[in-house]
Chains A and B, each alone.
Chain A
Amino acid sequence: MNKILVRRELNPTVTLLTVEAPLIARKAEPGQFVIVRPDAEGERIPLTIADFDREAGTVTIIFQIVGATTEKLNHLMEGGCVQDIAGPLGRATHTEGLKKVAVVGGGVGCAIAYPVAKKLFEQGAEVHAVAGFRTKDLVILEDEFAAHSTLFCRMSDDGSWGEKGLVTDALKQLIEAGNQYDEVITIGPLIMMKFVCAITKQYGIKTVASMNPIMIDGTGTAA
């Protein structure tokens, strides 16, 4: 049982929970995930660690309501508990030695991109964050990205937030403006990551795309 300290609805279908989990917080790295079970009757689902605070002993998860389990998770309230949380699992995103990076997130993928941007920013790298959403109402983590990047490009499909256009438009502009990235890190819908890779390939920039792992047990035995 892990206590929920913060619950915030980021947009109509995406919710953030910060829970007490000191052991996990001590080890967590961007790119890793936890296994969460909302209640004793529920399914175990993997959710990416969106943030963590080693001192406070907390871990933050962000999820989109897509099925029965995330629906249940969304009904848990501040002061309440999630039944189980185990981790951290998966490989940490490699950030060591990177000096200048573009972090490109699309939609809920931004929840996974954010801790990477934060870590890079905190280790002193120049971070160009590019976030894209369909429309203004779906935007998440705007302040967090703004606070942990040296440059923040806001993109929306319909122009209701930031510039109208795709994240790839912004990325292309940045590269053509002469920015030389050690690496581009991209997290979002498959098709978006595919187009990001197509662009960076043209310019020969090393690119890391994140795939959300599907696992049901804590050891990865049932991948």
Chain B
Amino acid sequence: MAIDPNKHPMPTQAPEERAHNFREVALGYTLEVAREEASRCLNCKNQPCVKGCPVGIHIPQFIQALRKGEIEEAYQIISLTSSLPAICGRVCPQETQCEQQCTLGIRYEPVGIGRLERFVADWHNEHSTEAPQKPESNGHRVAIVGSGPSGLTCAGDLAKKGYQVTVFEALHTAGGVLVYGIPEFRLPKAIVAREVETLKALGVDIETNVIIGKTLTVDELFEQGYEAVFIGSGAGLPNFMGIPGESLKGVYSANEYLTRSNLMKAYRDDADTPIMKGGSVAVVGGGNVAMDAARTALRLGAEHVYIVYRRSMEELPARREEVEHAEEEGIDFRLLCNPVEVLGWNDPENPRDPKNGFVKAMRCIRMQLGEPDASGRRRPVEIPGSEFTLDVDTVVIAIGTSPNPLIKSTTEGLEVNRRGGIVINEDGLTSRKNVYAGGDAVTGAATVISAMGAGKTAAAAIDKALCGEQN
């Protein structure tokens, strides 16, 4: 049988429809399509896809099980190395990880590994009747700071081994970026909530509204009897550009914009959270965060949404699928452009004009790509005299985030690097005894799967430190 050169397309909501609602865009494969897609896998010996996966999921094995219709078995194979398949299947940048390495991809489109992972996980979630059981306690207590993918994974792995785990989360909902960053239309919050519920069923205690470094310190956690602490506090501190006009009303960090929409439900008409809806919106940046902010703006009712990015389409760091979806939805990409100033309303004739102090436009300059820089990407350079103005009412800055310095500044002896990332060894151990860390708090903004992997590594190391080799 000849191999289909193309991936089976992912069914989606039509662009014109989905641009006005927050429901999930990608609808998922049916069993039939999933099995057909699985049969495209060559099941090659050297398994390059596995090397492309940050946590080394046994990809060909799970795909073969799926091909045979053994979906639960496929799920169990994934579970050997991954904790959050329903999430990673949706948000991993597969095109630069597993699928990039796929042998089939040399001549054709690679196997849709992410779509298959998602299918298997969704099928399991829908059909599995096995209820998580609280294991017998081993008497050891571990504290986890932050409830993003790194913290949730670390908590889950330890709880399954009988540890009494408490997760401390600064916000009022558990899930980290999975709930306050990535929007509903890409990752339904019910999926994250399910993971959190599973942890609770395993006996994990989740304490929201506790800010480690303020409400309690890491040292106080040890005083309270926790024997190890895992820091998975993420990288939530937004970077700004440092251009004039960034403090005008109507300029948001993507973090604030998305948090307001996601967590504080500003997207619902009955919510109290103010957010600027309508008008024209410029989102600065080219990563997933920028795509999410732009597509959220559209769904909140913006008439025109720009993405302003200083490099070209090829360098856009966002997941390919999100870029395609954004284009289909009508996001206006202004590539090779960089903002130089945000302009505000200011009517000297009428100092009481309510528009004063609000964003009116953004001045940009065109860029061209020069020599490759340290990251290997070609460095964008300004084209002199090419400035132009975009009329906008809202500017959203999505040019990256850094780890928040709060925990470092309140935990004596905790070493961080130049960028504020916590320094760890290969086990996830920090410069402080029994304090482990992982995820964005260590690496700076990265991916869900690497955060999850870091949580797993630390959980194994904590187990070894507290219970010894025999476990």
Contacts and interface: CB of A to CB of B under 8 A. Distances in A.
A84 B207 CA distance: 11
Contacts of B467: none
B214 A216 contact: no
A217 interface: yes
Given A23-B210, A219-B170, A41 B237 contact: no
Interface string A189-223: 00000000000000000000000000011111110
Interface string B391-404: 00000000001001
6 contacts: A86-B171, A86-B172, A86-B211, A87-B215, A89-B214, A216-B256
Nearest to B237: A221
Interface in B225-279: 233, 236-238, 253, 255-256, 259-260, 264-265, 270-274
Given A42-B264, A86-B210, 7 more contacts: A86-B171, A86-B215, A87-B211, A217-B171, A217-B236, A221-B404, A222-B255
A4 interface: no
Interface string A108-119: 000000000000
A177 interface: no
A222 B272 contact: no
Interface string B87-127: 00000000000000000000000000000000000000000
Nearest to A218: B170
Interface in A77-114: 83-89
Contact of A86 (B170, B237, B274): B170
Nearest to B270: A41
Given A43-B273, A219-B236, A37 B172 contact: yes
A35 B273 CA distance: 14
B313 interface: no
A86 B170 CA distance: 7
A218 B211 contact: yes
A89 B216 CA distance: 12
Interface residues of chain B: helix, strand, loop or mixed (majority): loop
A158 B404 CA distance: 48
Q: How many residues of B sit at the interface, in one of the four size bands? A: 20 to 34
Contacts of A87: 211, 214-215
A8 interface: no
B259 A216 contact: yes
A85 B172 CA distance: 9
Interface string A22-48: 011001000000010100011110000
A72 interface: yes
A64 interface: no
Contacts of A89: 211, 214
- The interface centre, meaning the residue of A23, A37, A42, A218 with most chain B CB atoms within 10 A of its CB, is A218
Given A37-B172, A41-B271, A86-B172, A219 B211 contact: yes
Interface of A: 23-24, 27, 35, 37, 41-44, 67-69, 72, 83-89, 216-222
B12 interface: no
A222 B253 contact: yes
A24 B214 CA distance: 9
A217 B170 contact: yes
B256 A222 contact: yes
Contacts of B214: 27, 87-89
A221 B273 CA distance: 17
Interface in B179-215: 180, 208-211, 214-215
User: 9 tightest A-B contacts by CB?
Assistant: A221-B236, A222-B256, A218-B170, A86-B209, A68-B272, A43-B273, A84-B172, A43-B272, A219-B170
The residue among B264, B401, B404 with the most chain A CB atoms within 10 A of its own CB is: B264
B272 A72 contact: yes
Nearest to B273: A43
Given A27-B215, A87-B215, A88-B215, A222 B259 contact: yes
A37 B340 CA distance: 37
B406 interface: yes
Nearest to A32: B214
A84 B260 CA distance: 16
A85 B255 CA distance: 21
Nearest to A215: B256
A42 B270 CA distance: 10
Interface string B345-361: 00000000000000000
Contacts of A221: 236-238, 255, 401, 404
Interface in B28-82: none
A222 to B, nearest CB: 4
B272 A219 contact: no
A122 to B, nearest CB: 23
B264 A216 contact: yes
Contacts of B406: 219-220
A222 B234 CA distance: 13
A190 to B, nearest CB: 14
Interface in B144-173: 170-172
Most buried by B among A35, A42, A84, A220: A220
B465 to A, nearest CB: 28
A175 B255 CA distance: 47
Contact of A222 (B208, B238, B265): B238
A84 B265 CA distance: 16
Contacts of B215: 23-24, 27, 86-88
Contacts of A68: 272
A41 B172 CA distance: 12
Contacts of A35: 209
Contact of A218 (B209, B265, B270, B273): B209
A68 B272 CA distance: 6
Nearest to A83: B172
A72 B237 CA distance: 30
Contacts of A216: 256, 259-260, 264
A219 B253 CA distance: 15
